[in-house]
Amino acid sequence: MTGQSVTRIRVDASAAAEAYEVLVGRRILEDRAELHRLIGPHARRVALIHPEALTAMAGRLRDLVEGLGHETITLRVPDAEAAKTAEVAADCWQRLGRAGFTRTDVIVGVGGGATTDLAGFVAATWLRGVRWVAVPTTVLAMVDAAVGGKTGINTAEGKNLVGAFHPPAGVLCDLAALDSLPVDDHVSGLAEIIKAGFVSDPVILDLIEADPTGARGPEGPHLPELIRRSVQVKAHVVAGDLKEAGPREVLNYGHTLAHAIEKNERYTWRHGEAVSVGMVFAAELAALDGRLPVEGVARHRAILTSVGLPVDYRADRWPALLETMRLDKKTRGDRLRFIVLDAVGRPAVLAGPAPDMLETAYARIAAPAPDPAGRSGEWSGEPRRVLVLNGPNLGRLGSREPGIYGTTSYAQLADACRSLGKELGLDVEVRRSDDEAELIHWLHEAADLALPVVLNPAAFTHYSYALRDAVAQRTAPLIEVHLSNPHAREPFRHRSVISPVASGTIAGLGTDSYLLALRSLAGADAGADAGADR
């Protein structure tokens, strides 16, 4: 590519994997020769796995791949951690089977860390392993998830408990993809960069301390170097220990508690946010064990907070977090294992710390639990869980009839619901399915657990009596919502079989229909709490 600077970082071969390169630079996805080299000469078909939010980018990549003479299969998956499920992986396998995807064909994973984790896992398990290429589009994916060959999906019991070691044929880190990355996602990725600094490369910490504001955005002068240095740290470690039998374990610094936090938050916290808290917890453990001076702990807090990352977590969640950590992959038998620091750049293993040491370390990072009703003083309960359920075709928001449904994408709608939920003290979980049976299953779950629901049944609104019967079994408020006003549209849309059994209906206000529904549920919850106090 003329005029473009590209850094090639080699991940050396091991007994279990061939060598490959991580390319870091701007607009490297426009290099047809590099893409052709990575796909290889034997592939007839290329499967592009990407989240809904990156449909346009995946379309451009598809055109490039087809221009090289390959057939393409587009596998669009949910955004973020919602993609990392057995159900999504099974859907990918089914679609590969229908397309006649063979062992010489290639998978390309385009997206953040969750997408590359899923794409690598699908590649590892299809026909016992096919070639794949990672195209990470977030800071987190570039410096962590896409490098090293770890692939996996989540289960109800924990994060990444099902997976495989299956390195890619190559990784294309196009820095241009970061130009449109939301600030919060960018900052989340900085946690993994800072981790690399603490465990191996102190220059990373020096660069961030010199310009924390610049580190927070793609325009920062040091960002390319920060990404290159972080990738080099990981490449060096994983080349000598692909399957985490020894030295690679140091890359888990902060992750034992982080994975427990993510599970506790039902994966609504960004990975980097949880890792940030986990690193401070590990630093406190090291200080209590006499390894790390208090100045080292203070440096953790100062660097992480300077870029906008959290350093504490809810005091009331310790028992649940401890139980989850006992299932962590790093645990041996009943002995918890933590990566800690003897000094910056000198990681070590702390095995089986005493229970009182764990509790004391957690107390030092503990924050009061939030009050969902906005009352003063501490609150000892948990945020009220709310399901936001979406029916057929809603995954195409932003591109589907924008004159009627608006230009907000489904990913943006989901983020808006979760963000407002945090403000209101609600634990909002957003789900989507084109399958009537799956929606019914989720409504049964809500009824069994007495969970409030915001439901956009979409086309099922007008004829699904099965969905209507599931709504009728509700044991908590359920608000039907619609982006458009059905009564201002075609006659067949004027009747809803859902409305008579819902608590209420909000329609015609675009995405505000969802937000007003959440505010209504939060108000009803607060009213119930107030009534209980009288």
Active site residue 422: no
The residue from 131, 228, 270, 271 that is catalytic is 271
Active site residue 248: yes
The residue from 84, 166, 249, 252 that is catalytic is 252
**Polymer length of the chain:** 534
- Inter-axis angle of helices 355-365 and 318-325, nearest 10: 130
The residue from 21, 81, 244, 273 that is catalytic is 244
The residue from 62, 84, 150, 216 that is catalytic is 150
Active site residue 192: yes
Burial zone of 34 (CB within 10 Å; 0-12 exposed, 13-18 middle, 19+ buried): middle
The dihedral sign for the CA sequence 215, 218, 222, 223: positive
3-state secondary structure of 498: coil
Active site residue 195: no
Among candidate residues 312, 305, 2, 271, the one with its CA nearest the CA of residue 138:
271
CA angle centred on 173, ends 245 and 397, rounded to 5°: 110
Active site residue 263: no
The residue from 62, 84, 159, 259 that is catalytic is 259
Tokens standing for residue 135: 């195209």
Region of 158 please: left (phi>0), alpha (psi -120 to 50) or beta: left
Residue corresponding to tokens 């034997």: 42
Helix or strand holding residue 277 (H, E): helix 271-288
Among candidate residues 3, 188, 207, 215, the one with its CA nearest the CA of residue 112:
188
Helix or strand holding residue 16 (H, E): none
Active site residue 244: yes
Pairing of strands 346-351, 337-343: antiparallel
CA angle centred on 135, ends 199 and 226, rounded to 5°: 35
Residue corresponding to tokens 């049976």: 437
E strand residue ranges, 269-361: 313-314, 337-343, 346-351
- Inter-axis angle of helices 255-264 and 271-288, nearest 10: 130
Active site residue 159: no
Active site residue 259: yes
Provide the 8-state DSSP code for 145.
Answer: I
The residue from 229, 234, 301, 317 that is catalytic is 234
Active site residue 219: no
Question: CA 531 to CA 296: how far, in whole Å?
Answer: 48
Active site residue 375: no
If one counts every other C-beta atom within 10 angstroms of the C-beta of residue 139, the result is 31
Region of 510 please: left (phi>0), alpha (psi -120 to 50) or beta: left
Tokens standing for residue 416: 């808006």
The residue from 166, 216, 229, 255 that is catalytic is 255
List residues with catalytic annotation: 128, 150, 192, 234, 244, 248, 252, 255, 259, 271
